[in-house]
């Protein structure tokens, strides 16, 4: 996955790649098994082997007919733009649209082109750069004016995911095209659907974002939706921005009332109005689909096809856990009971709500079993203010970095819960076929929604500083982030990184921590990569220096500090360099906020600058004793005008 060899005819790459594969795999290798050669931004090829391709969580694409993507007021694309549109009509807002399906495998639902049939891609794209659209709501919920983070920005969409598959090969092809097309920021709301730890040059997003970084292109990636477990992230390379999902004040409450007058408060986005009409309630455990071979141990959880379809008609069904409620055609509603946190409400194809498992048990044992004609109703949702916001949503994947423990991940948090944005007209808002609600805007949650918020902030910063490197932009976002509360997020920085994005402050951060491609190469040497492996990537004479590179992780110029230790420790020394981008003549003093268990020393603790672009280096030493799972601290460089804050995390097993 390095650069193309100098002087090579790119047209000959497919035959060269076939020969390479045949040399490695033997004479039985079929040349036709090489499905694609990357010819633009980097050198590499796709070959179909026996190992299954990893799948990702989303579908992508864009719904061009949304008001969020009209081009009124936009002039022609910038002269640097080299992108194009395939099987799609672009305009001066959507200036590029490509799709990638190297194997050529399409389902009946798929459209062979960049058109969004799922909704996810349109939602993400409009969150980044959707136009300002007034009077938007989801049937009255989240009512107001919709706008992307940078509504004046252009959009290029690269559809790499489909109904049944989302391969590394297609994702890399999308990166390959986007980089050479001339994009400035790449927003990647994709991730593995299970916790699998890949080395940095195995996963497509890590590889693609490395090549983007080489070309000066910033990459934002969602931290993934496998939280709240520790080390549940799946992309954690230091050259990309890993974004956690935070709440931002909007909350939906959906109540249930029983026939005896008792009211329970649950969570969902329920637009259906039963008008207080009472319906019989029945526990799914009591109506297994016996003819289908199911028993109560499965039907209680409403496993697909496990419930008698005739028995649910006209009734409200009690379920443990969550299912695809399309199987409940004819039911009056569903009440779910689950032990998980209810901070991410779902939208269903019929009246439904989530209760705590305790509440569900109470309804079952103290009402359903004691009342022969038990009834209930489900109310429409109420939109209320979440007074605890902001905090990290329970689904958001947590750090630490499982591959490089002495770096902090995620990097930052952005709004990702209950976000309203554009939606395709080819998929109901609940994504269930029985649902008739085809609407232009939808409310969904995920780090997929946080990622484009951060990408928009990066685009905003780059509009002020077009020549800044991706590392400078990442530094600006992190060092100006608003600190978040560890009392609301027990995993602290492993939940929210440096804190909640503040785009306005990020545009003028005072100091930045910059990182070059050579710096990343030195870091990778320390991670165990060989000189030969790195030369393929860097196309230079990079040499790993053995033991001299062992401490490279402490010298990588990140705007954050993390160290994994056991009990008592001493002498962890980090070397950093900051670049002045604030006031020409300025003096910054180091201020450390720390626990008494840690000793943190900054040398020198005063940095004086006399010009913009001037660089100053310092060291930060951490020692002490840790008797808890983790300790949080921070370093703030303060000149009285700018406060440049870096999180510090010390943690153990």
Active site residues: 59, 120, 448
Nearest to 234 by CA among 196, 190, 188, 187: 196
Distance in angstroms (rounded) separating the CA atoms of residues 463 and 60? 26
Query: What's the full length of the chain, in residues?
Result: 653
Residue pair 46/34 in contact by the 8 Å Cβ criterion: yes
For β-strands 441-444 and 44-47, DSSP reports them as unpaired
User: How many beta carbons lie within 10 A of that of residue 152, not counting itself?
Assistant: 14
Distance in angstroms (rounded) separating the CA atoms of residues 7 and 14? 16
Look-up of token digits 């409403």? 302
CB-based contacts of 166, cutoff 8 Å, min separation 6: 55, 56, 57, 58, 59, 160, 190
Residue pair 354/268 in contact by the 8 Å Cβ criterion: yes
Helix, strand, coil in percent for the chain, rounding step 5: 20, 30, 50
Residue pair 60/158 in contact by the 8 Å Cβ criterion: yes
Residue pair 560/612 in contact by the 8 Å Cβ criterion: no
**∠ CA 495-497-503, rounded to 5°:** 120
Q: Which 3 state secondary structure label does DSSP give 164?
A: coil
**Is the Cα dihedral 43, 48, 50, 54 positive or negative?**
positive
Report H helices in 182-310: 204-214, 296-299
DSSP 571-602: EEEEEEEEEE-S-SSEEEEEEEE--TTEEEEE
CA-atom Rg of the chain in angstroms: 26
Distance in angstroms (rounded) separating the CA atoms of residues 134 and 379? 28
What would the two tokens of residue 641 be? 């005008």
Instruction: Name the region of 216 (left: φ>0; alpha: ψ -120 to 50; beta: rest).
Output: left
CB-based contacts of 325, cutoff 8 Å, min separation 6: 331, 334, 348, 349, 350, 352, 432
Distance in angstroms (rounded) separating the CA atoms of residues 74 and 94? 10
DSSP letter for 287, please: S
Distance in angstroms (rounded) separating the CA atoms of residues 341 and 354? 10
CA distances from 113 to 83, 86, 87, 89, 529 (A): 15, 7, 5, 10, 39
CA 37 from centre of chain: 28
For β-strands 643-651 and 630-638, DSSP reports them as antiparallel
DSSP letter for 133, please: E
Distance in angstroms (rounded) separating the CA atoms of residues 321 and 466? 49
């Amino acid at each position: 996955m390095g650069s193309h060899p100098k002087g090579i005819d790119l047209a000959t790459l497919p035959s060269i790649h076939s020969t390479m594969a045949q040399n490695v795999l033997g004479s039985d290798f079929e040349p036709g098994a090489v499905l694609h050669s990357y010819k633009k931004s980097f050198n590499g090829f796709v070959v179909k082997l026996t190992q299954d391709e990893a799948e990702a969580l989303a579908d992508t694409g864009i719904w061009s007919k949304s008001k969020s993507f009209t081009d009124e007021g936009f002039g022609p694309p910038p002269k640097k733009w080299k992108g194009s549109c395939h099987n799609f009509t672009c305009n001066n807002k959507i200036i590029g649209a490509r799709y990638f399906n190297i194997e050529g495998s399409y389902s009946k639902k798929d459209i062979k082109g960049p058109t969004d049939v799922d909704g996810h891609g349109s939602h993400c794209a409009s969150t980044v750069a959707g136009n300002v659209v007034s009077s938007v709501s989801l049937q009255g919920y989240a009512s107001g004016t919709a706008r992307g983070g940078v509504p004046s920005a252009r959009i290029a969409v690269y559809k790499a995911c489909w109904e049944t598959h989302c391969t590394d090969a297609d994702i890399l092809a999308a990166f390959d095209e986007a980089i050479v097309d001339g994009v400035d920021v790449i927003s990647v709301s994709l991730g593995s659907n299970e916790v699998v730890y890949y080395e940095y040059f195995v996963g497509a997003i890590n590889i693609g974002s490395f090549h983007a970084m080489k070309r000066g292109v910033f990459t934002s990636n969602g931290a993934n939706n496998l939280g709240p477990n520790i080390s549940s992230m799946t992309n954690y390379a230091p050259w990309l921005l890993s974004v956690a999902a935070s709440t931002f004040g909007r909350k939906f409450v959906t109540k249930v009332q029983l026939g005896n007058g008792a009211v329970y408060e649950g969570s969902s986005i329920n637009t259906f109005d039963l008008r207080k009409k009472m319906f019989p309630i029945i526990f799914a455990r009591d109506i297994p689909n016996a003819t289908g071979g199911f028993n109560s141990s499965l039907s209680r959880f409403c496993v697909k096809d496990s419930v008698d379809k005739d028995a649910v008609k006209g009734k409200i069904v009690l379920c443990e856990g969550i299912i695809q409620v399309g199987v409940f055609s004819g039911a009056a509603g569903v009440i779910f009971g689950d032990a998980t946190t209810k901070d991410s409400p779902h939208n269903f194809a019929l009246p439904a709500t989530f209760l705590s498992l305790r509440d569900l048990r109470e309804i079952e044992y103290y009402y359903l079993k004691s009342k022969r004609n038990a009834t209930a109703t489900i109310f429409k949702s109420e939109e209320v203010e979440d007074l605890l916001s902001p905090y990290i949503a329970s689904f958001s994947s947590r750090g630490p970095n499982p591959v490089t423990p002495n770096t902090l991940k995620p990097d930052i948090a952005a709004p990702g819960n209950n976000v309203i944005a554009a939606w395709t007209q080819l998929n109901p808002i609940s994504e269930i076929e029985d649902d008739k609600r085809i609407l232009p805007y939808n409310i969904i949650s995920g780090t997929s929604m946080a990622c484009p918020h951060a990408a928009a902030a990066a685009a905003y910063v780059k509009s002020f500083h077009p020549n800044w490197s991706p590392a400078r932009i990442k530094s600006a976002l992190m060092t100006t982030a608003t600190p978040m509360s560890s009392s609301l997020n027990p995993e602290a920085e492993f939940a929210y990184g440096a804190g909640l994005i503040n785009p306005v402050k990020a545009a003028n951060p005072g100091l930045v921590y910059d990182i070059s491609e050579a710096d990343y190469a030195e870091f990778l040497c320390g991670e165990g990569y060989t000189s030969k492996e790195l030369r393929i990537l860097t196309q230079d004479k990079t040499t790993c220096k053995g033991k001299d590179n062992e401490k490279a992780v402490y010298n990588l110029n990140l705007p954050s500090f993390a160290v994994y230790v056991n009990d008592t420790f001493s002498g962890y020394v980090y070397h950093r360099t900051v670049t002045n981008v604030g006031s020409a003549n300025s003096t910054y003093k180091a201020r450390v906020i720390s626990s008494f268990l840690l000793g943190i020393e900054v040398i020198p603790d005063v940095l004086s600058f006399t010009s913009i672009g001037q660089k100053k280096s310092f060291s930060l030493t951490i020692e002490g004793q840790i008797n808890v799972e983790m300790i949080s601290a921070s370093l703030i460089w303060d000149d009285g005008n700018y406060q440049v804050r870096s999180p510090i995390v010390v943690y153990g097993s």
